[in-house]
Structure 1
Amino acid sequence: DDSNSFSGLYVSEPLRYNGQTNGQLIGALLVAVPERYPQVSPPLEFLAHVNQAILLAGAGVALVVVAFSLLLARNFTRPLESLTVAADQMRRGDYTRRAEPPKSKDELERLAVTFNAMADTIESDVNELRRQEQLRRDLMANIAHDLATPLTAIQGFSEALADGVIADEETRQETAQLIGREVQRLRRLVGDVQEMTSLESGRARLELAPLDLHALVDETLAVIRPECEQAGITLRNEIDPQTAP
């Protein structure tokens, strides 16, 4: 069977003791250049096993490298994903979201810590702006309420004068004075709004002046006394007129 034969070029040389041509023959040197090995040959089986082992080892190493690369990529991209989600939530108006700092103690951790510090500052500023906006709304509501009271009084007194309900000259004079005081009250409210605007812009200067509490209460009672009398309510100013301003 040629499949199990071994063919090639052979060269042989006898080996003699001490290299002498007539010395004792101790062996032979055979040099061969094979052209074909038998199909079932121990060297070929060994090489096949070696190649198979190399392929399996290479595949195993490749799998380990791929798994390790995926793990490193995941550890690297996870902090970036956290930063991206937190930034997107802030863009949508949620200033409470924070990035999760990695435990790698590197630039990514410093980036996450810096981002969270920036988010804390922005959240604090936004909360302060919201608080100021709420205060402004409350103030405007109070101003609107305060403006409604003298306007209602002026309207009522003016209609009474126009309709001739108040016929007594002295009462007419008192009513006219009440209207004048309510106009002054409106002017003070407008001035308060202007001062508030100046305070917000940082251009206001406080000017302290004495205030007559007894006179102020008298003016207030004079405005609301007609409605209170209709309701059966008696008003009385108990502040001593001699009280120092």
Structure 2
Amino acid sequence: MTRTALALRHVYFETLGTFEVELEEAGYTSRYVDVADEEVGAIDPIEPDLLVILGGPIGVYETQAYPFLATELDLIRRRLGAHLPTRGICLGAQLIATILGAKVSPTGVKEIGFAPVELTAAGADGPLRHLGGVPVLHWHGDAFDLPKGAELLATTAIANQAFSVGTDVLGIQFHPEADTSRDLEAWLIGHAAELAGAGIDPRQIRSDAREYGPALRDAGRAAFAEWLSQHGHPVRLA
């Protein structure tokens, strides 16, 4: 039986990345919805077995500038109300946190580049343990407060980094899915203005990706595979 995974994509280069392999091996057929091109309101949020909301360079609070966000929030709200597997990455996690009543706001500093996260006891006891001590890719300037009823899984000195609600909902601020061997240059070009404004040298990110990218790939895939397996979908962790 084929399962379906729907990914809401905000910019073309922020994809499922290395998670695509795990989804395929778990028997999922993946489809992207590009929110800039497709009518988000026409999507049935209950239909896919898994919904993944990907990252993007806008804020959840910019609904007047980007009206599609209000429609997207409504879609995710209906999904969460059905208690179905849902995963948010970066902007996706912020959208989920907003629906759950948490505040999302600018941190005042860009957290961009490779650095490890600090796992909480709950984080170290679940799928994110694979990422313990692994420098992960951060790329954000906003952060979410912990939603009421959620469990905090990871932090940095700057921001909350991951939370869960039961076993079905997982929000992650950083990018465990990033395929730095394939997509990094598109990230650097697509976010060139942001990097320049923050005084971040893309050469440093490129160098760090060569050093840390393989470990992030393996750990990110293992964490995602284990999370999928919690929903009764056995997968290969290698």
Report TM bin, short chain. under 0.3
The TM-score, its normalising length taken from structure 1, stands at 0.23
The TM-score, its normalising length taken from structure 2, stands at 0.23
> Considering only CA atoms, is the larger Rg found in Structure 1 or Structure 2?
1
Give 1 or 2: higher strand fraction. 2
Give 1 or 2: higher helix fraction. 1
